[in-house]
Chain A
Amino acid sequence: GQNIDQPTEMTATEGAIVQINCTYQTSGFNGLFWYQQHAGEAPTVRSYNVLDGLEEKGRFSSFLSRSKGYSYLLLKELQMKDSASYLCAVQSGGYNKLIFGAGTRLAVHP
């Protein structure tokens, strides 16, 4: 079967660094996305990995190990506006459909 696991909730302090982990088991792999979703809004992409290693995009970085079925999203210099759900999604199988994890709700405190 297809399975994507990530923690349900995390809390962090403004200005700090937080790492959100994701493990996956899917039939095939063509890429991994991290989406950010504020309450009541549409998800928007924050990071994308196809090959192993670290991808950096401003305050957001994401790491991928395909052999371990593992990724993490790293958020630096946390701001209050980073409070949101972060969704790990794997592109897999026929027609490269995106399979989503249940999401990690991040709360940033002053």
Chain B
Amino acid sequence: IAGITQAPTSQILAAGRRMTLRCTQDMRHNAMYWYRQDLGLGLRLIHYSNTAGTTGKGEVPDGYSVSRANTDDFPLTLASAVPSQTSVYFCASSRLADGTGELFFGEGSRLTVL
């Protein structure tokens, strides 16, 4: 089934540990995004990539890093997790490199940092 695959679906992590959330899309979309969703705050953009080899910072980038080595994969890394990074993380993609048009979302990764 075409779309966006995120892994893991859910994870409990000790503070200070390193964690990478994986995201893969098979729609050959140019742009990809990572959002976090917290109650009362909605979806907030962490990092984005308009094409392979380029990345940019969103609204809440601190504590997170991304890479875009190819079109399909866009992993999000927490170098040293803290409890405030407990959230649901959504990966998304859009077809055009300029970011216009509909965003398609993955099913989310629920992360708990203790």
Task: Please pick, from B35, B42, B50, B105, the residue contacting A95 in the complex, using a CB distance under 8 A.
Answer: B50
| Distance in angstroms between the alpha carbons of A45 and B93 in the assembled complex | 13
Task: Please pick, from A48, A87, A99, the residue contacting B102 in the complex, using a CB distance under 8 A.
Answer: A48
Q: Contacts A95-B56, A103-B42 hold; do A30 and B100 have CB atoms under 8 A apart?
A: yes
Q: How many residues of A contact B (CB 8 A)?
A: 22
Q: How many residues of B contact A (CB 8 A)?
A: 24
Contact with B along A66-102 (1 / 0, CB 8 A): 0000000000000000000001010100011111111
| Contact between chains at A96 and B99 (CB < 8 Å) | yes
Within residues 21 to 54 of chain B, which ones have a CB less than 8 A from any CB in chain A?
31, 33, 35, 40-45, 48, 50
Q: Does A31 contact B (CB under 8 A)?
A: yes
The B interface, classified by DSSP as helix, strand, loop or mixed, is loop
CB-CB under 8 A from B107, the residues of chain A are 41-42
How many Å from the CB of A78 to the closest CB on chain B? 23
Q: Closest residue to B49 on the A side, CB-wise? A: A95
| Distance in angstroms between the alpha carbons of A40 and B41 in the assembled complex | 16
| Contact between chains at A100 and B43 (CB < 8 Å) | yes
How many Å from the CB of B109 to the closest CB on chain A? 11
Q: Contacts A87-B43, A102-B40 hold; do A97 and B102 have CB atoms under 8 A apart?
A: no
CB-CB under 8 A from A31, the residues of chain B are 100
Q: What is the interface of chain A, defined by CB distance below 8 A to chain B? A: 30-31, 33, 40-45, 48, 87, 89, 91, 95-103
